[in-house]
Structure 1
């Protein structure tokens, strides 16, 4: 349903049975009254606000934040929170409520944490537009609007990730050097495209670097050339299929991991592991 009053509008998910993860519950926008206060209270869902204009105070986890235009604040389920609009310059803000098992990891990966529940964005239009699009998707009541809203939420969180510049994966490790970043991209390319027709030229073009330079960096950081890395990767994937897919022939396994010639697959398999694919399958299955 959609509820609209002067200075206040909220649209709820019209098809809550079409579950997605994350699952958007409702979204809205409000021009609050001076001194408008919420809480102290707890919510059973995540609630993300973005301040368009005005100012106020947000309190959570023993911390107090003074927020202005361009600021956003996150409310976490079961966390005691309160927030109050300024008496002279009350808030005008958007909000979106959502839930799902994937949400904690999503929020952590873009930089939102219990100790860092706020973000500031200089490009007001970019963030506000995402909130508006989530609300509009519900307001239009399209049959697949829950999926559209979830997609818009992903784009919104992506924008916050660019703001906060933080990732639980990245911050857990030392910062990458430019060379390490290039090699990581090359490894990602090979591990996702190994079953396709890969050449070093296409990989270098995809990563955006000269082939010779890329090969040199790759060897320095992995101890292997990209060609050797790819060959071992394909053989390892072939071993997995030999163990797990008894219904596949040796030729089908070879084709599935990027070898167009099953004899070449068998030759390289024997060279690396000392036995033929057929013998390997017999040993591992029996």
Structure 2
């Protein structure tokens, strides 16, 4: 049987409770029948089990947990947990709080009603918790920021590695999520000379399929949507940034050919970029009646 171990490191930064804060992290090879609770905590406390067996209890459910399991204790939740007598847990833990803590935990798949996730054994959650503990032990000023970064990686890893049954067909909500991903991609990348092919490759689907579901959901092809997005953004720049030339505005929205940009702008708004800007300038300089 492995020898009992226990170590913990607290956040060296004296930070106020903001949007997200990591409080401490630790690890333990628990002794047989090591028990805590029933008790409540006023912060979120995640455990990632590396080996061994044990039982985690909430007010409504009992979970028999082993390697690859993670359980998240929510603030105010009455819980208890105990290691197995013959094969006790080895686990790592991380505590966190903040205004966004609940939202982040829920996004990763945890809730008070479902506080347990089973991740695949190649999950990096224990590694990231160890990194937080190491950073806190270093006492560096950067430890607080590094810990928040690791916490985001932990929650992202939980979401990525949750074991779900394979889907033979894509459900409607998943189609909608994929279209939202496409829109988010184009909204964040429109200023660059990005292509629809690049977007499809980054999302892992072929162009024909994505074009079909995108048009079904939005009524537009991805090419048309991206062009409209760029022209709409150019209209805002022409209005808000009068010091920029038409060529600079065109480049700022990812259209490297000013003549093509001018033609498309006129197609959308019935006037050239220069005429639009002059009309806006005329309105702003007119005296109040």
Distance 1:115 1:107 in 2: 12
TM-score norm. by structure 1 comes to 0.76
Which runs of 5 or more residues in structure 2 are unaligned? 165-170
Is 1:274 aligned to residue 270 of structure 2? yes
Distance 1:79 1:181 in 2: 32
Compared with structure 1, are the counterparts of its residues 284 and 157 closer, same or farther at alpha carbon in structure 2 (3 Å cutoff)? Answer: farther
**Equivalent residue for 1:170?**
none
The correspondence for 2:228, drawn from 218, 232, 237, is: 232
Deviation of 1:214 after TM superposition, in Å, equals: 6.0
The correspondence for 2:95, drawn from 93, 97, 104, is: 97
Bigger Cα displacement from structure 2, 247-256 vs 230-239: 247-256
Cα pair 1:49 1:94 within 8 Å, conserved:
yes
Residues 1-286 of structure 1 correspond to what in structure 2 (within 5 A)?
7-17=5-15, 22-123=20-121, 126-164=124-162, 174-176=172-174, 186-200=182-196, 202-203=198-199, 206=202, 219=215, 222-245=218-241, 252-260=248-256, 264-275=260-271, 276-278=275-277, 281=280
Distance 1:52 1:77 in 2: 24
Cα pair 1:243 1:284 within 8 Å, conserved:
no
Distance 1:280 1:232 in 2: 21
> Over the residues paired in the alignment, what is the CA RMSD in angstroms?
3.7
Compared with structure 1, are the counterparts of its residues 280 and 188 closer, same or farther at alpha carbon in structure 2 (3 Å cutoff)? Answer: farther
Alpha-carbon displacement from aligned partner over 1:213-271 (angstroms, at most 9, x marks no partner) = 76566556644344322221112112333455566565544332234455654443333
Distance 2:129 2:246 in 1: 52
Deviation of 1:137 after TM superposition, in Å, equals: 1.9
Alpha-carbon displacement from aligned partner over 1:40-97 (angstroms, at most 9, x marks no partner) = 3221211001223333332224222232333221111122222233444443321111
Deviation of 1:280 after TM superposition, in Å, equals: 6.4
Distance 2:89 2:203 in 1: 45
Cα pair 2:4 2:30 within 8 Å, conserved:
no
Distance 2:197 2:84 in 1: 60
SS at match of 2:72: strand
Compared with structure 1, are the counterparts of its residues 135 and 273 closer, same or farther at alpha carbon in structure 2 (3 Å cutoff)? Answer: same
SS at match of 1:229: helix
Cα pair 2:67 2:121 within 8 Å, conserved:
no
Bigger Cα displacement from structure 2, 154-163 vs 183-192: 183-192
SS at match of 1:176: helix
Deviation of 1:9 after TM superposition, in Å, equals: 0.6
SS at match of 2:155: helix
Distance 1:72 1:217 in 2: 36
Distance 1:273 1:129 in 2: 54
Distance 2:204 2:162 in 1: 26
Cα pair 1:19 1:146 within 8 Å, conserved:
no
Distance 1:163 1:265 in 2: 44
